[in-house]
């Protein structure tokens, strides 16, 4: 992530996405041949390199360039795959593992990723101009040319808006990703069977599948301030259900469903926020730094739920902390976008 923005600016998102896919495929192939834990560590490291450079950063950069209008819906539609995978892949992969083994499954995954990476390189272009087109919804100016508006990453580092958004990224990283990692242990501690937990995780995937394009439509239709209130409301409601998860049979289902609906704040909101404040001139570089801070928050907060659960014998204190942190991040981001025109004016001045 630290270098992906610069690489995209130099070589284009198309090439970086392709190379990232090949790196991920290579990591899966290494997993398929691993006969020691050391090789597994190396394979995981390689997959991490591909995932860090080939996931949301080039995708968000491409869609920001290709869509002037309906950008929120485009981001939502492009990221629906994670929801589909959460619903379908556990059963599908488990079946392959039972029939052919873990190593063959990793090899199959590597082949699938390599094919998809190749298709993306064939089909995708870095800009609409490469195909003689204009961005969707773009209105040309008097000179009939496309203006690349926005600020550079150096200018962004001089703006208070960058540091406010960076704070939001760290706070959401501390909360959102650790919850994703601990959904199963939380439900296990509440006494639910593995089969029922699998059904609940599918419900989580359905929430993601529906909410990502819907959240994008809300952004496009009602703007950033109102869409922020909507997505944060689902996050807080989910955490409240988690806080009282043992108080009613419906609460675990609501917890995972509402969390699935609220999680697009991780994937869709940040590219929209960055483009609105800083423009698309240096979108890849700015987004890569924000994504690093989000990931740093996730790494720092990843062990917190487990530590608290071990010390207190319950995950409930975690939800109290997370509700406070999520509300804090909401206050900051709404302050940041209290007047979008003012933020844009600051960016133009910088």
Q: Mean pLDDT for each 10-residue chunk of the chain (350 residues)?
A: 87 92 95 92 94 86 89 88 77 83 91 94 90 83 62 92 95 89 81 78 84 91 92 94 87 91 88 90 89 90 82 84 94 85 48
136: β partners = 67
Residue with tokens 């009282």: 244
Number of residues in the chain: 350
Report residue 91 CA to chain centroid gap. 23
Phi/psi class of residue 150: alpha, beta or left (left: φ > 0; alpha: ψ in -120 to 50)?
Answer: left
Question: Phi and psi dihedrals of 339, rounded to 5?
Answer: -145, 95
pLDDT value, residue 115: 96
Residue environment code for 320-338, b if the CB has 16+ CB neighbours within 10 A, otherwise e: ebbbebbeebbeebeebbe
Rounded CA-CA distance 55/229 in Å is 26
pLDDT of residue 143: 54
For every residue of 105-149, DSSP letters joined together read: HHHHHHHHHHHHHHHHHHH--SSGGGGT---BT----TTS-----
Contact status, residue 172 vs residue 266, Cβ threshold 8 Å: yes
Q: Which residues contact 133 (CB under 8 A, 6 or more apart)?
A: none
CA distance 105 to 133: 41
Residue 50 · residue 21 · CB < 8 Å:
yes
Closest of 59, 291, 278 to residue 152, by C-alpha = 278
Please, are residues 42 and 189 in contact by the beta-carbon 8 Å criterion? no
**Per-residue pLDDT, 347:** 46
What pLDDT does residue 318 have? 86
pTM for the structure as a whole? 0.80
pLDDT, residue 145, reads: 57
Q: Give the per-residue pLDDT at 341.
A: 46
Q: What's the pLDDT at 96?
A: 86
* Residue 310 per-residue DSSP state: H
182, 41 Cβ separation under 8 angstroms: no
The DSSP letter of residue 150 is B
Calculate the CA dihedral of residues 343, 345, 346, 350 and round it to 10 degrees: 140
Give the CA distances from residue 342 to residues 93, 113, 160, 339, in Å, rounded to whole numbers and listed in that order: 49, 43, 12, 5
Instruction: Output the six-digit token pair for 84.
Output: 């589909």
Q: Which of 20, 125, 7, 106 shows the shortest CA–CA distance to 65?
A: 125
Instruction: Return the DSSP state at 279.
Output: B
């Amino acid at each position: 992530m630290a270098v992906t923005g610069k690489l995209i600016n130099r070589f284009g998102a198309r090439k970086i996405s392709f190379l990232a896919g090949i790196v991920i495929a290579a990591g899966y192939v290494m997993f398929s041949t691993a006969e020691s834990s050391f090789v597994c560590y190396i394979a995981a490291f390689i997959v991490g390199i591909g995932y860090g450079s080939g996931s949301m950063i080039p995708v968000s950069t491409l869609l920001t360039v290709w869509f002037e209008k309906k950008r929120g819906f485009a981001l939502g539609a492009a990221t629906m795959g994670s929801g589909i995978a959460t619903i379908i892949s556990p059963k599908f992969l488990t079946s392959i593992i039972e029939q052919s083994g873990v190593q063959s499954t990793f090899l199959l995954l590597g082949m699938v990723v390599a094919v998809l990476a190749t298709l993306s390189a064939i089909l995708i272009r870095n800009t609409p101009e490469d195909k003689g087109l204009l961005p969707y919804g773009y209105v040309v100016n008097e000179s009939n040319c496309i203006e690349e508006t926005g600020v550079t990453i150096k200018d962004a580092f001089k703006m208070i808006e960058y540091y406010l958004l960076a704070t939001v990224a760290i706070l959401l990283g501390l909360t959102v990703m650790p919850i994703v990692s601990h959904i199963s242990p939380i439900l296990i501690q509440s006494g639910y069977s593995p089969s029922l937990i699998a059904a609940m995780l599918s419900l989580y995937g359905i929430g993601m599948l529906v909410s990502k394009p819907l959240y994008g439509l809300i952004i496009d239709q009602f703007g950033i301030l109102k869409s922020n209130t909507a997505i944060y409301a689902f996050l807080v409601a989910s955490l409240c259900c988690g806080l009282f998860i043992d108080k009613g049979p419906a609460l675990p289902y609501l917890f995972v469903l509402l969390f699935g609906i609220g999680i697009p704040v991780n994937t869709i909101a940040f590219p929209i926020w960055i483009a609105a404040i800083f423009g698309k001139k240096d979108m890849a570089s700015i987004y890569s730094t924000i994504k690093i801070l989000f990931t740093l928050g996730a790494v720092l907060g990843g062990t917190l739920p487990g530590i608290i659960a071990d010390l207190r014998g319950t995950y409930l204190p975690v939800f109290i902390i997370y509700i406070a942190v999520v509300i804090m991040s909401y206050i900051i981001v709404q302050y940041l976008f209290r007047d979008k025109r003012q933020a844009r004016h600051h960016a133009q001045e910088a």
